[in-house]
Structure 1
Amino acid sequence: MSEYMQWLYSIILTIVTSLFGEHWILFLLYLLLNIIDTLTGWAKARINNQESSSVALIGIIRKMGYWIMILIAFLIPVGFQELGKIISIDLSVTIFLGWFVLASLIINECRSILENLVDAGCKVPQILIKGLETASKNIESIGEENE
């Protein structure tokens, strides 16, 4: 790798890490899953002769909404932690809110990709579908326990 590419890679990695923290790879994973879901959704629609620009636009708007949801899920704990300091209550456990939301959305994207593949005629192993279903139920049950 050239010196310029190493320098560029370092700058990009520094910016991404400062924006998303040390677990930036999870946010990148979610972004990649968004892209793959969009592409497999388009392929499914094309194969089934159901292409629609308005449906695609709604899907893209929905994905932007999910990113806003992630932002809110990580901002709320920051506010609660600050309020907890003011009223002398430890509210640091609320930081898990963002991670549970991100985990749920990653699982949902994976499930959506698999659904697109099935609808496009691909044979998807049931173990993969059932595994994601189990992971989704586990995340949901943890959320319900903490209500």
Structure 2
Amino acid sequence: MKVIDTYNALVGSVVAVLTYIFGEHWLLFALFLGFNVADWLTGWMKSRMMHKENSMVGWKGVLKKLGYWLMIAVAFGASAVFIEIGTVLHIDLQITTLLGWFVLASLLVNEIRSICENFVEAGFNVPQILVKGLEVADKVINKDSEGE
């Protein structure tokens, strides 16, 4: 029973900290991290299966993932700055919150597509519904204002 209590206390603490840092939608950020790891692992697996392993390429991938997290931080940070400036100027700029969410959504789709591409290039049979569904999601999220 003590093990279960310790486990519950530990998991509860982790969830509380994540909620404090990332807000009530912390699970989306945790999933993004999971997709980052899965993309890196499937990329490594693909390279290994094709006998094209390269540690420099692997490190570039890790740095790219760190860059994605910086993009998310900048998008949500910029939103917070604009909202605060709007408060000072008495202008409602809450809409800028969407900036961070669209960046996160776009990067989530990008990571999942990359995982699928790694599987395809490694010779796995990836269901077309997943590939096509991700293409549609990408088009909707990244739709530009030029009438697309």
* TM-score band w.r.t. shorter chain: over 0.9
- Where do 5+ consecutive residues of structure 2 fail to align? none
RMSD: 1.1
Q: 1:32 aligns with which of 14, 31, 34?
A: 34
Q: Partner amino acid for 1:86? A: V
Equivalent residue, structure 2, for 1:45: 47
Shift of 1:27: 0.3
Q: Identical aligned pairs, as a percentage?
A: 49
Deviations 1:115-139 (A, max 9, x none): 0000000011111111000000000
Q: How does 1:95-114 map to 2 (within 5 A)?
A: 95-114=97-116
4+ long deviations beyond 4 Å: none
Give, as a single letter, the amino acid of the residue that structure 1 aligns with 2:43: G
Could you tell me how far apart the structure 2 residues matched to 1:13 and 1:76 are?
26
Q: How many residues align?
A: 144
| Residue 7 of structure 1: how far off its partner (Å) | 1.0
1:1-147 correspondence runs (5 A): 2-141=4-143, 144=145
User: Which AA in structure 2 matches 1:136?
Assistant: D
Q: How much does 1:6 deviate?
A: 1.0
How many angstroms does 1:4 deviate by? 1.2
Deviation at 1:144, TM superposition (A): 3.5
Unaligned regions of 5+ residues in structure 1, if any?
A: none
1:31-66 per-residue CA deviation (whole Å, 9 max, x = no partner) reads 000011011000000011110000000000000000
